[in-house]
Structure 1
Amino acid sequence: MEFLSQMWSLLGLLTILQNVLPTQLLSLLHSLWQSLQDSITPYSYFDVPEFLGSAAVEPNALYRHVQLYLHRSLLLSSPPPPRLTLSLPRSVAAGAGASAAPAPPSVSLSPNHSVADTFSGHRAVWTHHADTLQDSLEERRSFSLRLPKRHAAAVLPAYLAHLAAAADHLERSSRARRLHTNAASPRGAAAWASVPFCHPATFDTLALDPDLKARLLADLTAFAEGREFYRRTGRPWKRGYLLHGPPGSGKSSLIAAMANHLRYDVFDLELTRVTTNADLRALLIQTTNRSLIVIEDIDCSLHLTGDRGLASERLHKRRKLHAAAYDDDSSDSDDDGGGNDADNHRGKVTLSGLLNFTDGLWSCCGEERIIVFTTNHVDGIDPALLRPGRMDVHVRLDACGAHAMRELAERYVGVGDHEMLDAAEDSIRAGAEMTPAEVGEVLLRNRDEPETAVTELAAELKARRNAADDLQWEDSAAELSDGSPTKKGRKGLGWEGKVRILGRLRSLTKSDSSRR
């Protein structure tokens, strides 16, 4: 009782001193006490506030990194800390939808509680602080890190780099992604509209040649992990892909698989809705980092190959008008016509504008971006768009190969080894062509009857093989008759092909004479 009485007396004395002594003197005494504590303790402390500056309006990126890192550590730690905070915002719960799996709650460290971590053999302790401001309901939140004082200077930089990398990976793998498309805003300015991106395609579900799939995965992974490389070489952190092939060959599915692999947003740019080069630049500025910017059917979106010819024509017209000015000063009407033509052209998206979009100074306004062009006819694209630096990787997606056909059959109907699949593979090797979309459709409509599915697929491929053989025979027979190819650009038939055609003609002649 006597001890408690002395404690109460001391507390009362401290209260009286706090009310009597000046504020400046109290602050000085508090600072001296803190300095004494810091000199005695074997630990160093580092504070990470949620906001920066005296106004506390600028978010602290490091606070977000610590929050994400501890979120992952708390879920993996065993046993967990004694007190955690669970939260599920209403917007997240509503966005999950009735048919989707329920969104998991977010886990965070409760205020004024600590959690321990280990890095390079050293123990680090994180404490979450939440202080309510006087005469206000606002909270000031922060994290404090405790490290051994002897090793703090050596451990802290590497530990923060480790923390940032782990937080970046977690944010990339868990953030909700969006599919954007350009649409005119009510004021007429270029803008993006978006919906959640939920495409199920992945590289595991794509029926691609294994070597091509491995090359694409390696290139995408190297790009995503190449921050230091691009910074060291002075190159903008972007990459261009050109996907070309017939309709149904899987170009759109490959784009979705790329986005899902990298966890990027997708910006689907519809060039026919863009009126000027300035609008194109405005749309580029509005795209975010870690995104795929897609222009599908680039050869059909706009007529871009004539821009340089049009510019040459305008230059020739200006020279002609300039020469005529020395002979006759009354050339105002012609000059007005040329100016209107140039103004009309400036009001459209040009090849120059698209080149600046992909490889000019404006293309460097963000980082970690992939620009993807798709086309069914690569010959219809201006070569200036295809050079390295603009389209770095050219991917040809052709008809379904034997490996892809078997992979689709296994995935759709669960049949990986069947005599009909062997027959279908023989037809493919003999020249029969079906796109992955066509193969998938045959298997899809017979997914409940695997035997029927593979039989119908083999029959369809055999029919296409016979059709291709008949077409080749007709072309070759015509070439033998007149000595010239039937199609422009077709090479002459070799002696082996001529022998085959003559043998077939002989067999047809024998069969015709036997009928008589």
Structure 2
Amino acid sequence: MEFRQLFSTIILIVLTGIIVKLFLNRTIRTAKLIRWWRLLSEKFHDHQFLKIPELNDNSQQNHLFRRVSLYLNSLQSLEDSDNTNLFSGVNPNDIVLSLNDNQTVVDTFLDARIRWTLTSRAGGACFTLTIRKRDKRRVLRPYLQHIHVVSDEIDSRKRELRLFTPVSGFSGEVSGGVRWRGVPFTHPATMETIAMEIDIKNKINLDLDNFLKSKQFYHRLGKVWRRSYLLYGPSGTGKSSFAAALAKTLSYDVYNLELSSISDDSELKHLLLQTTPRSVILVEDFDKFGTTRLTASGVMNFMDGVVSSCCEERVMVFTMTTKDEIAPEILRPGRIDVHIHFPMCDFNNFKCLASSYLGVKEHKLFSHVEEVFSSGATLSPAEISELMLVNRNSPSRAIKSVITALQTTSSPVVVAGSVGGESCKGTPDHGFKSGDSVDGGSGTLRKDGVKEIKKLYGLLRRKSSICRVSDSFVLDS
């Protein structure tokens, strides 16, 4: 009896295995037949091939190319396809899919089968869309609208900011082969971490918010929807960090441009045309453009010329040490909308840095720090930040190190300029010239005189924190 039961069980298992194998083989055969049938049917149907290049005829970025790339990288069929590229996202757990060169992915829309192929060439990459001619009139337009909607949703849901720098490209490209190359933009600066007076920060945030909502208003006035900022002040005062925070606030990509690396006006124009909407164009050390191979007319056309009118939804940021060496017509309203001064650190900025770096809003040594600042001593925010960073585990030690450094700078100051035929080094230039009152012709200002003048200068600046000139305004931070 037991032998019969065991034999029946074995027979049942064998029969189950045979049935499963036959079913799987049939499923595999069916899938192969369907794939072969599709390939065969495509041979007997007329197809149309539409190309979407990365760059248009003017070497500008083709925005449809970017939208198609976002859309295809989100398809389930790409995940199931062979040779798909995998990249890490902004977060360590994020995996980003990307179409590989010469790879084909299939999509379906309104019962129409659409194939996409990515190819690379010297002038940039290109997508090829393959669709049956009988489906084109019915499907193509709503399909492209569908791509726009999906890509916008992806952009708004999870936009990875990128930092672009100009590099030499392939020999077959135009204008010397210079193009932008992008990497993920992960700068940690935000408006909250910037050491700046709160009222100035609020004015900037309001200005950015108004810009984002003003597309129709700009067009009604016949103006290009663009905003430009000038950041000026000594090195180490936070201009570059502010530009990064501004980009993070807007969720805009950053195009970082060094004018010294540009060969001529034509190349500058070419690079501007390659930028995309929703981007910050950052031009650092703008006051040194006179030492480059660019002309003043080329720079002004870059800022507000006819070519720049093709580049809407952009914010242009120019940084420099001083405005004294720039011709007024270059910085006139219309070319520069907002002027923001970044001074050396004062007591209010010190408290912002102490809150960010040390986590303290009040400390028994603050009164001593304020007294040293009021004596005319000063450091750049970068110098104070470094002292706090090194001593971040002990707020008292960090603040004492700042006091010591400030007291060192309050010693007699050497006038910036030339005395006795030798270059003199000291604190940053506060407007004093070599002909100002000096102590015995030695090239040093009397310590008490420096204190009083700096106090007066700071008082005047605080009383005139914002000055409107035509449609531009100046902010003193």
- What is the distance in 2 between the residues matched to 1:177 and 1:91? 23
2:325 maps to 380
Pairing 1:174–2:158 present:
yes
Instruction: Provide the rounded CA distance (Å) in 1 between the counterparts of 2:157 and 2:348.
Output: 31
2:241 & 2:206 partners in 1: Cα distance? 18
CA offset digits 1:173-215 (Å, max 9, x no partner): 6222221111222423232222111111110111111111111
Matches within 5 A, 1:469-488: 479=437
8 Å CA contact retained: 2:256, 2:282: yes
* Cross-structure match for 1:453: 398
TM-score by length of 1: 0.55
2:160 is matched by which residue type in structure 1? A
Contact preservation (8 Å) 1:173, 1:263? no
Q: How far 1:88 sits from its partner (Å)?
A: 6.5
Determine the structure 2 residue equivalent to 1:230: 218
User: How far does residue 259 in structure 1 lie from its aligned partner after superposition?
Assistant: 0.7
Q: 1:510 maps to which residue?
A: none
Distance 1:271 1:417, change over 3 A: same
1:104-183 matched pairs, under 5 angstroms: 131=111, 133=113, 171-172=155-156, 174-183=158-167
Percent identical residues: 34
Matches within 5 A, 1:492-511: none
- Equivalent position of 1:426 in the other structure: 371
1:271 is displaced (CA, Å) by 1.5
Deviation readout 1:443-471 (Å, 9 max, x if unpaired): 11111222211221222223333556999
Cα offset, 1:256, TM superposition: 0.4
The answer on 1:393 being equivalent to 2:326 is no
Match of 2:276 in 1: 288
Q: Where do residues 74-473 of structure 1 align in structure 2 (5 Å cutoff)? A: 93-96=86-89, 100-103=91-94, 131=111, 133=113, 171-172=155-156, 174-187=158-171, 188-303=176-291, 348-467=293-412
Distance 1:169 1:401 in 2: 44
CA-based RMSD of the aligned residues comes to 4.5
| CA–CA distance in structure 2, aligned partners of residues 459 and 297 of structure 1 | 31
Contact 2:412 2:444 in 1 (8 A): no
Displacement of 1:91 after TM fit?
A: 6.9
Any conservation in 2 of the 1:189–1:279 contact (CA below 8 Å)?
no
Q: Which stretch shifts more, 274-283 or 438-447?
A: 274-283
Distance 1:203 1:386 in 2: 25
Distance 1:480 1:295 in 2: 38
Name 1:123's counterpart in structure 2. Answer: none
Distance 1:480 1:432, change over 3 A: closer
1:213 is paired with a residue whose SS is: helix
Cα deviation, 1:101-146, whole Å, max 9, x if unaligned, reads 212799xxxxxxxxxxxxxxxxxxxxx9652559xxx8999xxxxx
Q: How far 1:442 moved relative to its partner?
A: 0.5
SS at match of 1:94: strand
- Which structure would you say has the larger Rg? 1
Q: Whole-Å Cα distance in 1 between the matches of residues 79 and 392 of structure 2?
A: 40
What SS class does the counterpart of residue 221 from structure 1 fall into? helix
**Residues 130, 166 of structure 1: CA spacing in aligned structure 2 closer, same or farther, 3 A cutoff?**
closer
> CA contact under 8 A between 2:168 and 2:179: conserved in structure 1?
yes
Give SS of 1:371's match. Answer: strand
SS of 2:255's equivalent in the other structure is strand
User: What is the DSSP-based 3-state SS (H/G/I as helix, E as strand, rest coil) of the residue aligned with 1:380?
Assistant: coil
Decide whether aligned partners of structure 1 residues 222 and 170 sit closer, same or farther in structure 2, where only a CA change above 3 A counts. Answer: farther
User: Counting helix residues as a fraction of each chain, which structure ranks higher?
Assistant: 1
List alignment gaps of at least 5 residues for structure 2: 1-46, 53-62, 98-107, 115-129, 136-147, 416-425, 428-432, 454-477
Aligned residue for 1:384, secondary structure, equals coil
Amino acid at match of 1:441: E
8 Å CA contact 1:272, 1:302 repeated in 2: no
The answer (yes or no) to whether the contact 2:89–2:96 under 8 Å persists in 1 is: no
Quickly say closer, same or farther: Cα 1:171–1:300, change in 2 above 3 A.
same
User: What code does the residue aligned with 1:207 have?
Assistant: A
